[in-house]
Amino acid sequence: MKMNDIPFGTTDWSCVAPTTHPGEEGHALWRTQHFGTVRVRMVEYSPGYLADHWCSKGHILLVLAGELVTELEDGRVFTLTAGQSYQVADNAEPHRSRTEKGASLFIVD
């Protein structure tokens, strides 16, 4: 990820309108900002959320609240709680998310 030509700025995430993204189960609310080619999101997963696809996009993800389970297509499973993060490159390891109780995330990709 290259971050060029982005002037200093602040974001009040409560003023960014959410969009709803249904999962295989539950839904995700995304508040999204774009800075050049960089996408930054505040994401809230509903309780019982399960992603509807395996994702191959690279991310840096930080769990702000709740608990997130990330499955890799190769069978590995990682459980993250508030204050934990993961990073993965584009096309490196397909992954998908799920949560039993819900989770709030900050994601850069």
Structural domain of residue 23, as residue ranges? Answer: 19-108
pLDDT of residue 2: 78
Whether 1 maps to a domain, the answer reads: no
Give yes or no for a contact between 73 and 95, defined as CB atoms under 8 angstroms apart.
yes
Spell out, as residue ranges, where the chain has pLDDT lower than 70. Answer: none
- Give the pair of three-digit tokens for residue 36: 């050049």
Whether 5 maps to a domain, the answer reads: no
For residue 94, give the CATH number of its domain: 2.60.120.10
Whether 6 maps to a domain, the answer reads: no
pLDDT of residue 103: 98
pTM of the model: 0.92
